[in-house]
Amino acid sequence: MFLTSNVHCAPLHVSSLSQLNSQSVFSVKYAVKLLKKLADDGNFKLGKVVHALLIVSNHASENHVIQNNCLINLYSRCGQLSIARHIFNRLRQRNIVSWSTLMTGYLHNGFTWEVPKLLKDMVSVDNLFPNEYVLSTVLSSCSNGGLLHEGRQCHALVLKSGLVFHQYVKNALLSLYTMFSDVEGVLEILKSVPGSNNITDNVVLKGFLDHGYTNEALDVFSRMLSEGSVRDKISYVNIFGLCARLKDLKLGKQVHCRMLKSGLQLDVFLSSAVMDMYGKCGEILGARCIFYSYPDHNVVSWTTILAANFQNECFEEALKMFLQMELQDVVPNEYTFAVLLHSCAGLSALGCGKTLHARVEKTGNGTFVVVGNALINMYVRSGHIEAARALFSNMICRDTVTWNLIISGFSHHGLGEDALYMFQDMLAAKEQPNYVTFIGVLLACGHLGRIEEGLYYLQHLMRDFGLEPGLEHYTCVVGLLGKAGKLDEAEKFMRSTPITWDVIAWRTLLNACNVHRNYGLGQKVADHLLRLNPNDVGTYILLSNMHAKVKRWDGVAKMRKLLRERNIKKEPGLSWTEIRNETHMFVSDDTQHPETAQIHEKVRKLLAEIKPLGYVPDTNSVLHDVEQEQQEGYLSYHSEKLAVAYALMKTPSQAPIHIIKNLRICDDCHSALKLISKVTMRMIVVRDVNRFHSFQNGSCSCADYW
**Shortest Å, Cβ 378 to Zn ion:** 22
| Residue 274 within binding range of Zn ion, rule CB under 5 A | no
| Residue 661 within binding range of Zn ion, rule CB under 5 A | no
DSSP-derived 3-state class of residue 72: helix
Q: Which stretch binds Zn ion (CB under 5 A): 39-47, 323-331, 440-448, 666-674?
A: 666-674
**Shortest Å, Cβ 576 to Zn ion:** 15
Nearer of residues 64 and 638 to Zn ion, judged by Cβ: 638
Give, in order, the Cα–Cα distances in Å from 429 to each of 397, 411, 412, 433, 665: 12, 20, 23, 11, 38
Name which of residues 173 to 212 contact Zn ion (CB under 5 A).
none
**Shortest Å, Cβ 512 to Zn ion:** 16
Runs of H (alpha helix) within 57-180 = 65-77, 81-90, 96-108, 114-124, 132-145, 148-161, 167-179
Name which of residues 512 to 541 contact Zn ion (CB under 5 A).
none
Nearer of residues 371 and 700 to Zn ion, judged by Cβ: 700
Q: Are strands 684-687 and 657-661 parallel, antiparallel or unpaired?
A: parallel
Q: Determine contact, residues 541/529, Cβ cutoff 8 Å.
A: no
Q: Which stretch binds Zn ion (CB under 5 A): 91-99, 159-167, 421-429, 632-640?
A: 632-640
Q: Name the phi and psi angles at 7, rounded to 5.
A: -55, -35
Q: Which helix (H) or strand (E) holds 131?
A: none
**Shortest Å, Cβ 624 to Zn ion:** 13
Short-list 637, 658, 663, 638, CA closest to 647: 658
Task: Give per-residue burial for 82-103: e unless 16+ CB within 10 Å, then b.
Answer: ebbbebbeebeebebbbbbbbb
Nearer of residues 217 and 666 to Zn ion, judged by Cβ: 666
Q: Determine contact, residues 684/656, Cβ cutoff 8 Å.
A: yes
Q: Which stretch binds Zn ion (CB under 5 A): 159-167, 358-366, 428-436, 638-646?
A: 638-646
**Shortest Å, Cβ 315 to Zn ion:** 25
**Shortest Å, Cβ 172 to Zn ion:** 58
| Residue 666 within binding range of Zn ion, rule CB under 5 A | yes
Nearer of residues 352 and 642 to Zn ion, judged by Cβ: 642
Nearer of residues 218 and 666 to Zn ion, judged by Cβ: 666
**Shortest Å, Cβ 670 to Zn ion:** 6
- Can you spell out the DSSP letters for 537-583? HHHHHHHHHHHHHTT-HHHHHHHHHHHHHTTPPPPPPEEEEEETTEE
**Shortest Å, Cβ 377 to Zn ion:** 22
| Residue 606 within binding range of Zn ion, rule CB under 5 A | no
**Shortest Å, Cβ 338 to Zn ion:** 31
**What is residue 343's DSSP assignment?**
H
| Residue 345 within binding range of Zn ion, rule CB under 5 A | no
Q: Which stretch binds Zn ion (CB under 5 A): 1-9, 290-298, 437-445, 690-698?
A: 690-698
Q: Own/partner pairs for 348-351, CB < 8 Å, 24+ apart?
A: 348/381, 348/382, 348/383, 348/578, 348/658, 348/660, 348/687, 349/315, 349/319, 349/382, 349/578, 349/583, 350/378, 350/382, 350/383, 350/384, 350/578, 350/658, 351/578, 351/580, 351/581
Q: Which helix (H) or strand (E) holds 660?
A: strand 657-661
| Residue 700 within binding range of Zn ion, rule CB under 5 A | yes
Nearer of residues 331 and 613 to Zn ion, judged by Cβ: 613
**Shortest Å, Cβ 341 to Zn ion:** 27
Nearer of residues 414 and 440 to Zn ion, judged by Cβ: 414
**Shortest Å, Cβ 547 to Zn ion:** 18
Q: Which stretch binds Zn ion (CB under 5 A): 13-21, 116-124, 544-552, 631-639?
A: 631-639
Draw the binding track, 42-81, toward Zn ion (x: CB under 5 A; -: no contact).
Answer: ----------------------------------------
Give burial (CB, 10 Å; 0-12/13-18/19+) of 439.
buried
Tell me which of 142, 385, 669, 676 binds Zn ion, using CB under 5 A. Answer: 669
- Sign for the CA dihedral angle at 178, 181, 182, 188 comes to positive
**Shortest Å, Cβ 635 to Zn ion:** 7
Short-list 680, 706, 684, CA closest to 696: 684
Nearer of residues 307 and 700 to Zn ion, judged by Cβ: 700
Cα–Cα distance, 318 to 378 (Å, whole number):
15
Nearer of residues 447 and 547 to Zn ion, judged by Cβ: 447
**Shortest Å, Cβ 414 to Zn ion:** 7
| Residue 693 within binding range of Zn ion, rule CB under 5 A | yes
CB atoms near residue 407 (< 10 Å): 27
Cα–Cα distance, 636 to 234 (Å, whole number):
61
Strand partners for 659: 686
Q: Which residue type, as a one-letter code, is found at position 199?
A: I
Name which of residues 400 to 439 contact Zn ion (CB under 5 A).
none
Nearer of residues 559 and 702 to Zn ion, judged by Cβ: 702
| Residue 447 within binding range of Zn ion, rule CB under 5 A | no
Instruction: Give the count of residues interacting with Zn ion (CB under 5 A).
Output: 6
Q: Which stretch binds Zn ion (CB under 5 A): 329-337, 435-443, 447-455, 663-671?
A: 663-671
Nearer of residues 378 and 669 to Zn ion, judged by Cβ: 669
- Sign for the CA dihedral angle at 643, 648, 649, 652 comes to positive
Cα–Cα distance, 103 to 246 (Å, whole number):
39
Q: Which stretch binds Zn ion (CB under 5 A): 349-357, 593-601, 644-652, 659-667?
A: 659-667
Q: What angle do CA 338, 689, 675 make, to 5 degrees?
A: 115
Strand partners for 694: 685
| Residue 702 within binding range of Zn ion, rule CB under 5 A | yes
Tell me which of 155, 170, 389, 638 binds Zn ion, using CB under 5 A. Answer: 638
CB atoms near residue 424 (< 10 Å): 9
Q: Which stretch binds Zn ion (CB under 5 A): 360-368, 527-535, 547-555, 693-701?
A: 693-701
Nearer of residues 218 and 622 to Zn ion, judged by Cβ: 622
Short-list 318, 379, 366, 369, CA closest to 343: 318
Q: Which residues bind Zn ion (CB under 5 A)?
A: 638, 666, 669, 693, 700, 702
